[in-house]
Chain A
Amino acid sequence: MTALTQFIDAFSTGKIRVVDLTLTLSPEFPGISLPPEMGQAWPFRIEEVSRYDERGPAWYWNNFSCGEHTGTHFDAPVHWISGKDLPNNATDSIPPERFIGPAYVIDCSKEAAKDPDFLLTKDFILKWEKKHGRIAPHSWVLMRTDWSKRHDPVEYQNYDEEGQHTPGPDVEAVKFLVAERDVLGFGTESIGTDAGQAYHLRPPYPCHYYMHGAGRYGLQCLTNLDQLPPTGAVVIAAPLKIRNGSGSPLRVLALLHE
């Protein structure tokens, strides 16, 4: 029996379960907001081509449009200026084996509920490791905040006069995960891998800066992280093969052993 036949066996007998970590692409879902004078990513939009009607009598289909960074999406290193000159830094050139990896899920949901600006620190991660074990190299680290349960876009985006308030990692945590844990990437439930107020960190947007600068990836707008165990899940996250793409919406799946 090969590992794959074992896998299929476990899968068909229900020992391996699939959890969908993806939000549904819909026009209502908020996009990343930038100052209006800057270039803007397209939100998800969908237009009917035909629906069993005079435009196409027996078939239904749509045209959709969106930016590379829409909905549940993948960030490639070339997305950030720090990763622009790395080899294999875009959606079409990243080796496909990098799209499958173990997931370590750090539960910050209580902290994020209390403080929307909660920053995940190196200390927090070290304490978590004491309980759940050391993060293995080439793994996804997923920050569970239950942010995806905020179904109202106003609450999900959480803006006030000073901008957005959503949780994310701090500078030291990102540097630690890259340099000392050699992670595959970092994933969040909110609209960015960085915190809403990360523009004010040094450097601004540290998760983008250091992760992509070291050739690592990002996943954002994830959901159902509350259904994953702290360790033991395997994540499949393969972006669309866009030539020199900086990212892409994608279906993120987690496999769990029951």
Chain B
Amino acid sequence: MQRPKRKNPVLRTRLPTLPPAARSRVALGLTAAAALGRFELQQCRDCGTVQYPPREACQKCLSVVLDWKAQPTEGELLAQTVLHHSNDLFFRERLPWRLGLVKLACGPTVVSHLHEEIKNPPMKVRIRAMLDRAGQAVIAALPDKENCDMADDRQLREFTCDPKHRKVLVTDGKTALGQALIKELVSAKTEIVWVGYAEPWKKFAGFDELEKIPQVTLMPLDVTDSKNVRELAAEIAGKVDIVVNNAEVHRSFGIGNRQGVETARAEMDVNYFGLLRLAQEFGPAMRSRGADGSSSAVAWVNLLSIYALANFPPHGTFSASKAAAHSLAQCLRAEMRPAGVRVVNVFPGPIDDEWNQLLPPPKVAPAALAEAIVGALREGIEDVYPGDVAQEWLARWRDNPKALERELSA
């Protein structure tokens, strides 16, 4: 894809539209897996049949004992067609649109959106469940190879939030994670990275290096200061395509080992109210640009924590602030979805930084976390559990939240 032409600022910005969003409760199983970047289909526990589309009962034996299970992604394109007409407002604006029928190795035949490299049937393909702009899972057929380019594919770019040619705000450039994110975004061909830094009178390690990156513009930003957030939004919110809110305060205290509420309040002020301030000031402008051409506003990333799911008592007040932020991020997700702007929540295990100094490895390295975040934008994933620790805790939490609560408090 060529770098999009600069937008003529006097032209109307079209209003965002969404692809069909209605799904039955059962069908949301596909969405739940796709949100994590997984492909799962219903499989009958009695006869083993894999079925699609999702239903209440097994299409073969009528058993109601159906499990959502990861399925192989191999398939074969049986037929393709090009849509030149649609009464659906979303697709109407994006015609022509290519669709195909893919026979999956696990059984069912599915309707898929086609990557431009998928040409005439028969052809081996790899399928992916992806979230569309409405936040619902759809199936895309990709070439059967590693590292398929979705950033430059006209159709698949509608399902991802690729930072290529986009303008990004990273809210905290002072941390190792912030700086790793900036490097990762720049190498993903981001057009502009605005980088916030609080308390500008304290020069931070890495400042000079950041200043040398041509795509980077450093902006004083303290998410506890409403006026500062408002003024920054007034300056850039109409151009920001992706917000990466990585500003956080993290102290390692529970209830009993820190007097008073001031440390906990500082965590809440940045981790929870900071998100609220940013969302109030940047949200409206981003919502108005959900359909602003091929480099529209697309994503809002929140750095949460695996402790948002279950409190880790040695870092108890931090956990509580991240749980609050997680809840607010769900509200933000609901409010951004009508514009097609995806809210991506990131739940890392302990990051290898200052405030996890006394936690033993494994800890997620800032560079690996940055890679996972940018990877999630590219792949269209909504809930990111980067690294082995987060994946393992996620599995334990999904299996039995009470057990994880006990284990974390041991």
Contacts and interface: CB of A to CB of B under 8 A. Distances in A.
Interface of A: 27-28, 30, 33, 37, 39-40, 43, 45-48, 153-154, 156-157, 159
B201 A45 contact: no
Contact of A46 (B200, B227, B251, B266): B227
A39 B222 CA distance: 18
Given A39-B262, A40-B266, A47 B226 contact: yes
Given A27-B226, A45-B226, A159-B201, 11 more contacts: A27-B222, A28-B228, A33-B199, A39-B260, A39-B262, A39-B263, A40-B266, A45-B224, A153-B201, A154-B201, A159-B202
Contacts of B388: none
B203 interface: yes
A46 B222 CA distance: 13
Contact of B200 (A33, A48, A154): A154
Nearest to A47: B226
Interface string B218-236: 0000101111100000000
Contact of A30 (B199, B226, B262): B199
A156 B200 CA distance: 11
Interface string B337-359: 00000000000000000000000
A157 B200 CA distance: 10
Interface string B178-204: 000000000000000000000111110
A45 B200 contact: no
A153 B222 CA distance: 14
Nearest to A46: B227
18 contacts: A27-B222, A27-B225, A27-B226, A27-B227, A28-B228, A30-B201, A39-B263, A40-B266, A43-B224, A43-B225, A45-B224, A45-B225, A48-B226, A154-B200, A156-B201, A157-B201, A159-B201, A159-B202
Contacts of A33: 199, 202
A159 B205 CA distance: 13
A33 B198 CA distance: 13
Interface of B: 199-203, 222, 224-228, 251, 260, 262-263, 266
A28 B220 CA distance: 10
Nearest to A161: B203
Contacts of B251: 37
A46 B226 contact: yes
Contacts of A45: 224-226
B246 to A, nearest CB: 17
B254 to A, nearest CB: 15
Nearest to A164: B201
A149 B386 CA distance: 48
A50 to B, nearest CB: 14
B229 to A, nearest CB: 10
A33 B199 CA distance: 10
A159 B204 CA distance: 11
A126 B203 CA distance: 39
B225 A153 contact: no
B321 to A, nearest CB: 15
A7 B201 CA distance: 44
Contacts of A159: 201-203
Contacts of A153: 200-201
A45 B266 CA distance: 13
Contacts of A156: 201
A89 to B, nearest CB: 22
Rank and list the top 8 A-B pairs by shortest CB-CB distance, nearest first. Answer: A157-B201, A27-B225, A153-B201, A154-B201, A30-B201, A27-B227, A39-B262, A47-B226
A168 B113 CA distance: 70
A40 B270 CA distance: 14
Contact of A27 (B200, B228, B263): B228
A162 to B, nearest CB: 12
Contacts of B201: 30, 153-154, 156-157, 159
A48 B226 CA distance: 9
Contacts of B260: 39
Contacts of A157: 201-202
A15 to B, nearest CB: 40
A148 to B, nearest CB: 15
A76 B260 CA distance: 22
Contacts of B266: 40
A162 B287 CA distance: 45
A28 B202 CA distance: 13
A27 B220 CA distance: 12
Contacts of A27: 222, 225-228
Contacts of B199: 30, 33
A229 to B, nearest CB: 32
Contacts of B222: 27
Nearest to A48: B226
Nearest to A31: B199
A40 B262 contact: yes
Contacts of A37: 251
B279 to A, nearest CB: 15
Nearest to B230: A48
A33 B202 CA distance: 9
A26 to B, nearest CB: 8
